[in-house]
């Protein structure tokens, strides 16, 4: 079995809130699992499941049926799983047992990540994830049996034309993770630093990526980028009218389908409700209107007035932990021939922090508050992570993503969020 890498800053213990079973997740159920589960007389055991489509067909497979509220049909009134109660944890399907973990094969190792759409993860409750190694090994063995690991790769795609060795990528990730963990630097400056560092690397000559001087070059750029972040302002690229129009066209979509629409070469014609709130929230950065949260709607002008520059210490720590986990687990880029490049994925990940702050400001505005609270940030993390939890499989060739991951874009979003 491949070596498993576990983040030492993440705790987790299920608190039985049921959010993972009622937030509109489309739980895929393999045909073999469907046949096995149908051997239990669910309708006979639980009358409320009578005449329900427990395993409707979808996309060549099956999924768990959901109620009108969007909750899984197997979620009981006490927020616990009927399957867990009836047939036991070990007999539940892998998708349910895996949550909130993400096990990602990369360069012969397995990076363990967690999804912050889980409130227990977001609150950092329970025992260290590292103490669950035996459980994770069992999940990994089953995952690899069902979905064989991808072939070993020596390099990752840094951008469209260049590759980076996994050894050098680890250096880069360690520098970013170390900066994000630094308690004496504000979250805003951390994002500015990481964004500046990525921009400097993008501007490097090609031989930096093919020779043996990457590490020395990276350390030199780290010092310059850190100095820029600590002593300079937030610089951002100028956005022309055409780009503003493209941004508004995407961000003002009344509906959104899935993250595949974000990566398509055109903006597409079919969209689902899943990204509606995200699109409307992001649109508020560039145009008037309202921001819709789970707890109400707020006028854009009211959202802009909320202070998110001075975050509570608890919120700084949460967002730092969120970003560190994404980079550590390599949940931000795809493999050869698919998904985001390292550069695009890293920039989009940093931009998620700006989106979290924007949602947090909206939550505060709904309450009529002048500044964001720790609870506002927690709600924003849950909402953003639910929508954008799977970035690595996006196609970075799409028009919208090329715009949203261009040089300096995380800093541009920060400016709009912080300064309105």
In a shared domain, residues 135 and 165: no
Distance CA(53)–CA(66), nearest Å, equals: 8
The residues pairing with 11 across neighbouring beta strands, listed in sequence order, are 128
E runs forming strands in 235-385: 290-293, 296-299
Distance CA(186)–CA(332), nearest Å, equals: 23
In a shared domain, residues 199 and 346: yes
Residue 260 structure tokens = 């595949």
In a shared domain, residues 198 and 237: yes
Q: How far apart are the first and last CA of the chain?
A: 50
In a shared domain, residues 135 and 161: no
Q: Which of 100, 125, 146 is the last residue of a domain?
A: 146
Distance CA(104)–CA(256), nearest Å, equals: 27
Distance CA(332)–CA(165), nearest Å, equals: 16
Nearest of 356, 415, 341 to residue 389 by alpha carbon: 356
Give the Cβ contact number of residue 268 at 10 Å: 18
- pLDDT for 398 equals 56
Contact between 346 and 409 (Cβ < 8 Å): no
Number of domains the chain contains: 2
Structural domain harbouring 281:
154-420
In a shared domain, residues 136 and 179: no
Average pLDDT, 10 consecutive residues per value, the chain (420 residues):
92 92 80 93 92 88 89 92 94 94 93 94 94 95 92 90 94 96 92 94 90 89 91 70 51 35 39 42 54 79 88 95 95 75 90 87 93 94 76 56 74 75
Q: Which of 114, 146, 178 is the last residue of a domain?
A: 146
Strands 57-58 and 101-106: unpaired
Alpha helices in 203-240 (DSSP H): 207-210, 214-231
In a shared domain, residues 142 and 165: no
In a shared domain, residues 163 and 140: no
In a shared domain, residues 52 and 163: no
In a shared domain, residues 167 and 73: no
In a shared domain, residues 309 and 216: yes
- pLDDT for 60 equals 75
In a shared domain, residues 408 and 276: yes
Find the length of the chain.
Answer: 420
Q: Which of 126, 146, 166 is the last residue of a domain?
A: 146
374-388 vs 342-367: helix crossing angle, rounded to 10:
140
In a shared domain, residues 115 and 232: no
């Amino acid at each position: 079995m491949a070596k498993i890498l576990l983040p030492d800053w993440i705790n987790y213990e299920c608190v039985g809130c049921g959010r993972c079973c009622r937030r509109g997740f489309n739980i895929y159920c393999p045909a073999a699992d469907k046949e096995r589960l149908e051997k239990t007389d669910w309708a006979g055991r639980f009358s409320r499941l009578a005449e329900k489509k427990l395993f409707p067909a979808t996309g060549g497979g099956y999924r768990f049926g959901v109620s009108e509220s969007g909750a899984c049909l197997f979620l009981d009134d006490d927020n616990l799983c009927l399957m867990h109660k009836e047939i036991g944890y070990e007999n539940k399907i892998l998708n349910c047992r895996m949550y909130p973990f993400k096990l990602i094969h990369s360069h012969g190792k397995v990076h363990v990540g967690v999804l912050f759409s889980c409130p227990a993860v977001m609150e950092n409750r329970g025992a260290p994830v590292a103490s669950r190694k035996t459980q994770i090994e069992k999940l990994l063995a089953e995952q690899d049996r069902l979905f064989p690991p991808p072939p070993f790769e020596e390099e990752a795609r840094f951008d469209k034309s260049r590759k980076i060795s996994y050894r050098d990528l680890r250096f880069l990730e360690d520098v970013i993770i170390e900066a994000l963990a630094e308690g004496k630097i504000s979250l805003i400056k951390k994002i500015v630093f990481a964004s500046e560092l990525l921009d400097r690397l993008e501007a490097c000559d090609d031989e930096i990526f093919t020779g043996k001087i990457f590490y020395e070059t990276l350390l030199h750029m780290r010092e310059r980028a850190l100095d820029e972040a600590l002593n300079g302002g937030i610089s951002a690229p100028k956005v022309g009218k055409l780009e503003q129009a493209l941004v508004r066209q995407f961000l003002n979509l009344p509906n959104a389908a899935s993250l595949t629409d974000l990566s398509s070469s055109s903006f597409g014609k079919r969209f689902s409700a899943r990204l509606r709130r995200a699109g409307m929230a992001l649109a508020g950065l560039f145009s008037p209107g309202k921001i819709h949260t789970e707890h109400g709607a707020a006028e854009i002008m009211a959202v802009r007035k909320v202070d998110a520059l001075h975050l509570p210490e608890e919120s700084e720590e949460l967002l730092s932990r969120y970003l560190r986990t994404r980079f550590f687990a390599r949940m931000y880029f795809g493999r050869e021939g698919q998904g985001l490049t390292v550069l695009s994925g890293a920039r989009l990940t940093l931009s998620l922090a700006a989106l979290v702050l924007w949602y947090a400001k909206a939550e505060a505005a709904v309450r009529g508050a002048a500044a964001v609270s720790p609870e506002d940030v927690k709600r924003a993390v849950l909402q953003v992570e639910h929508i954008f939890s799977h970035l690595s499989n996006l196609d970075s060739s799409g028009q919208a993503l090329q715009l949203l991951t261009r040089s300096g874009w995380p800093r541009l979003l920060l400016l709009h969020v912080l300064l309105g």
